[in-house]
Amino acid sequence: MKAVRIHQYGSIDNAALEEIPAPKLGLDEVLVQVEAASINPLDTKLISGDMKDYFPLTMPYTVGTDLSGTVVEAGLLAARWKQGDRVIARLEPGSSLNKHRGGAFAEFVVVPAQLLTTAPTKLDLATSAGLPTAAGTAWQALFETAHLKPGQTVLVHAGAGGVGSFAVQLAKYIGAHVISTASAANADLVHSLGADQVIDYRTEDFSVALRDVDVVLDTVGGETLSKSYQVLKPGGFLISIVMPPDQEQAEAHDITATFFGHRSHAARLDLISGLCDAGKLRVIVDRTFHLSDMQDGLAHSASRRARGKILLRPAV
């Protein structure tokens, strides 16, 4: 089968499409034919080695964490899954669950059964690959970390991005007042996702315009994170998925500030899939690349200009 692998840390040019043996199936694992994989910022960080202290990779390593596809075969202890089942999953990079199997940028992948979830029936299967990390991160940040409640005000930075686009929708769905930063070109999209107010970060300083926000979700870092402390009310919650917040700043503003990385959870992903089937959650797809063009897809992701998700497909 074909798979995108790296043999050492470095630039995205190190990633190459190779012919490798098909993976062998374990007792509690499922062989999936990949319909599509989703590119995440984590992928370029793994390739570069920036995350090796957190996710040490066994080389050669097959890149990619998010996938949608069809079950080909299930191990004896994974009898829930049948041939032809439509599934989505997020693999844990560099973990003991998937250390030797690699990732999703491949024609086939073996997935631990505990990481699989039924794909939404109301979404195109390829589009469903955009859900696992981005929607899961937004859910974990808003509901499991900040405990966002109906009626509260949340500021989502980069509401047109992968995580941001889901965060806007999820926050609006539970009844929060949603403010988002975005470029003027993306304002209509972010409004359509549910934002009550969109601030053009290129022409307006959100830290001057806003006060008394309950929750801020930072997906940008740098100056954006630094300015976010002052818009929160005392007792508010700042979450960054990019870099650790300054705890002295947090204490000075009487807020809670935390940094976290998404962890896979099949039950959470199942709830997200259900929201898609209920018509409450959309996946915004920016571009779709063939697996052979994965370097172009990785470069587009690294540019941070994508609206929503970038997909890779073994066959188009």
Summarize pLDDT for 24-54 with one digit per residue, the tens. 899 999 999 999 999 999 999 999 998 888 8
Contact of 57 with 93, CB cutoff 8 Å: yes
Contact of 110 with 91, CB cutoff 8 Å: no
Q: Are 220 and 235 found together in one domain?
A: yes
277 within a domain of the structure (yes/no): no
275 within a domain of the structure (yes/no): no
Q: Are 58 and 119 found together in one domain?
A: yes
- Three-class DSSP labels, 214-250: EEEEECCCHHHHHHHHHHEEEEEEEEECCCCCCHHHH
Give the domain range for residue 54: 2-131+283-313
271 within a domain of the structure (yes/no): no
Summarize pLDDT for 60-74 with one digit per residue, the tens. 999 999 999 999 999
Q: Are 116 and 126 found together in one domain?
A: yes
274 within a domain of the structure (yes/no): no
- Higher-confidence residue of 258 and 306: namely 258
Q: Are 125 and 146 found together in one domain?
A: no
> Which residues are bridge partners to 5 per DSSP?
16, 62
Here the tokens at position 52 are 């090796």
276 within a domain of the structure (yes/no): no
Summarize pLDDT for 169-196 with one digit per residue, the tens. 999 999 999 999 999 999 999 999 999 9
Q: Are 124 and 146 found together in one domain?
A: no
Report how many domains make up the chain: 2
Q: Are 241 and 293 found together in one domain?
A: no
β-bridge pairing 153-156 and 177-182: parallel
Q: Are 104 and 47 found together in one domain?
A: yes
Angle at 230 between CA 227 and CA 236, to 5 degrees: 115
170 within a domain of the structure (yes/no): yes
Q: Are 10 and 113 found together in one domain?
A: yes
Q: Which alpha helices (DSSP H) does 2-150 contain, by range?
A: 41-48, 125-128, 132-139
pTM for the full predicted model: 0.94
Here the tokens at position 160 are 């047109």
| Helical (H) or strand (E) element with 173 | helix 162-173
pLDDT of residue 94: 61
Q: Are 151 and 244 found together in one domain?
A: yes
